[in-house]
Amino acid sequence: MTTIPGESIGIPLPRIDGPAKVTGAARYAFEHPVERPAYLHPIQSTIARGRVSAMDTTAAERLDGVLAVLTVFHAPKLADTSDGELSILQDDRVRFRGQLIGAVLAESLEIARHAADSVTVDYETDSHDSELRADDPTLYAPEEVSDGSPSYTDRGDVEAALRAAAVRIDQTYTTPTEHNNPMEPHASIAMWDDSSGQPQLLLYDSTQGVHTVRTTLAPLFGLELDRIRVIAPHVGGGFGSKGAPHAHNVLVIMAAQYSGGRPVKLALTRQQMFSLVGYRTPTIQRIRLGADADGSLTALWHEAAESTSTVKEFAEQTTIASRTMYSTPNRRTAHRLSALDVPVPFWMRAPGECPGMFAAEVAMDELAIACGIDPIELRIRNEPERDPESGKPWSGRHLLQCLRTGAERFGWHNRDPAVRGWARGEWLIGTGVAAATYPVNVSPGNTARIEYLADGRYSVQIGAADIGTGTWTALTQIAADALGCDVAAVDLQIGDTDLPSASVAGGSSGITSWGTAVVTAARAFRAEHGTEPAVGARTTADAPDNPDIDKFAMHSFGAQFAETAVHRDTGEIRVPRMLGVFSIGRAINARTLRSQLIGGMTMGLSMALHEESVRDHRFGHVVTQDFADYHISTHADVQDIDAIWLDESDEHANPMGSRGASEIGIVGAAAAISNAVYHATGIRVRDLPITVDRLLG
């Protein structure tokens, strides 16, 4: 597809990587061609806490095709063991069920798996605790949450304001453990070469950041950064779980040290991913709201209890959005952690904002009903002029426009806040709304290189990642506009640590961070080489700091609308309609943007009605380890889903005028559905997922 030079941004350009993906030419981590690969299968603990007293590997080692067996008693020693999640096979302690305690390296995947099942393990078992409880006496307050913010904030006198409030809401909301389930499982190919006396590592990995993988793993193996190359041109989804290396990455590299120079392949099974690559922590959230009779907030108190691991602390920023969402003179937010004998939680799409705004936006719906006010009008009355947390002006807060635009398109004007929904045959119909926000995140350490090839073509290089979000296409459009050329003239290269450094694809920060580097390099290239450069002309530039970050509060916003149908006899829930209206700055690619927003909304639908990782606390492990038991939404679960965005540009966020959009689609979606279910039935379900038993019970 040709474009007008300088006018590529905003058009719905088809995915540049699309033909390679539909023809099978795009290679994912496990598919890269290597000679004489060996295959690895992990051995995992079957107790939740204790120690390994013995491992009998005799039967496994006798099998034809077995090359090596790694155990907690026989494995390479790591140079750095400061990361509890990554320091595997370094001692005999078991800290959670499913922990890696060994692996088998063999000529085929089938032999490796059979041999791993042949290893006999003896344990000394200790009592364990895997259950998050609000009354757990060991709950503690972390110093900060995972986004670097303080875990506790307090403004005004919350207790006094609540006592004096004309209307009060005091409820507890829970969200369950949820697991990232990208289509491509976590997979790696490791090639360890020490023939020169100085080890070199080549890693094909399914990751959201090749440079992050290299900088994280290098200290563990005592390697300089230039001794490691990580390649990931195509990634089949991540949703946060591939935002950093996990224990399986360390395991495959260890095995490569035993393979005699042969490449080692490891692809985790769906079941193994439920204990090895992170998940969304369960939360127990108590929200207390105080308001005047007209719905004006006088107090907000949002506290969350969530789980972390004894292996390593991870504190999700669950209450963070409540610090900036609405205007109130008295506000308190707090996080408390319970360190349990479970795997380490990690990022899952919109960590913190997603579960936190489910609770907060359902609480706002409850406040609207208590005040007899339309839920949209309640939000309008509590709109802050500036960021309540920092006091900074907004770079562009258009939440009210999102709400009003959505209300008009959705047909909200027919809704009476004092009346429940209506009936359609055997179905009870209701509608709900929720607001959404997600911060503008900018990551440091991004560099781009521009080189003139010949015949009007340019090479644009940056070690970014495309996890299915459209990076190949969006960065090409950004580069084309910055260089003033057609998109067909741009040869984009990403996904390799041999390219200039780039941050991880996470927190909706990718295009903002990488795009800024590309625009900066393009402008520097033109300044240095002009519009008629010589073949081979090259410019490398770092993304500069954005001075407006300290001057403005930068967030994306959205309004989520949902219609639900609940069968009056069976409690079955259907979602005939969903609409999201978003303020995300300038659209880079209208096609991939809509895909990302609808994808997030679909995950929010899944969160509302299906997703729940059920942990058997007797044994400490998740029992819903496949798509037969861990339910996710499919096409049949929603009849009409649409996402639109405002026509705007945020000149303060980055040179493109865009803001992140990959996460905000999921934020608020579950709350809108929950609020619609209440409107239909009069039953308030405060515990996700909303299942038949919770409605009928």
Which secondary structure element, helix H or strand E, spans residue 479, and what is its range?
helix 471-483
How far is Cα 460 from Cα 450, in angstroms, rounded to an integer? 5
Structure tokens at 371: 């005040």
Which residues of 232-345 form beta strands (DSSP E)? Answer: 264-267, 283-291, 297-309, 331-340
Contact of 244 with 216, CB cutoff 8 Å: yes
Helix or strand or coil: residue 317?
A: coil
Contact of 568 with 680, CB cutoff 8 Å: no
First to last CA, the chain: 56
* Amino acid letter, residue 299: A
Contact of 448 with 501, CB cutoff 8 Å: no
- Cα 48 to chain centroid distance, Å, stands at 26
Task: Tell how strand 331-340 and strand 297-309 pair up.
Answer: parallel
Contact of 690 with 608, CB cutoff 8 Å: yes
Q: Is 34 exposed, middle or buried (0-12, 13-18, 19+ CB in 10 A)?
A: middle
How far is Cα 355 from Cα 434, in angstroms, rounded to an integer? 13
How far is Cα 523 from Cα 543, in angstroms, rounded to an integer? 11
Helix or strand or coil: residue 142?
A: coil
Contact of 346 with 151, CB cutoff 8 Å: no
- Cis geometry, peptide bond prior to residue 689 (ω within 30 degrees of 0): yes
What Rg do the C-alpha atoms of the chain give, in angstroms?
Answer: 26
Instruction: Spot the catalytic one: 306, 389, 563, 663.
Output: 663
* CB proximity list for 226: less than 8 A, separation 6 or greater: none
How far is Cα 590 from Cα 657, in angstroms, rounded to an integer? 14
How far is Cα 615 from Cα 634, in angstroms, rounded to an integer? 24
Question: SS3 helix, strand, coil % of the chain, rounded to 5?
Answer: 25, 25, 45
- Cis geometry, peptide bond prior to residue 576 (ω within 30 degrees of 0): no
- What is the DSSP annotation of 196-210? TSS-EEEEEE--S-H
- Residues paired with residue 100 on neighbouring β-strands, in sequence order: 44
268 φ, ψ (degrees, to nearest 5): -65, 145
- Cα 412 to chain centroid distance, Å, stands at 31
Could you say which DSSP state residue 188 is in? E
Structure tokens at 456: 């009007």
Contact of 199 with 192, CB cutoff 8 Å: yes
Task: Tell how strand 573-583 and strand 228-231 pair up.
Answer: unpaired
554: nearest Cα among 666, 393, 405? 393
96: nearest Cα among 136, 132, 53, 130? 130
124 catalytic per annotation: no
Active site residues: 663
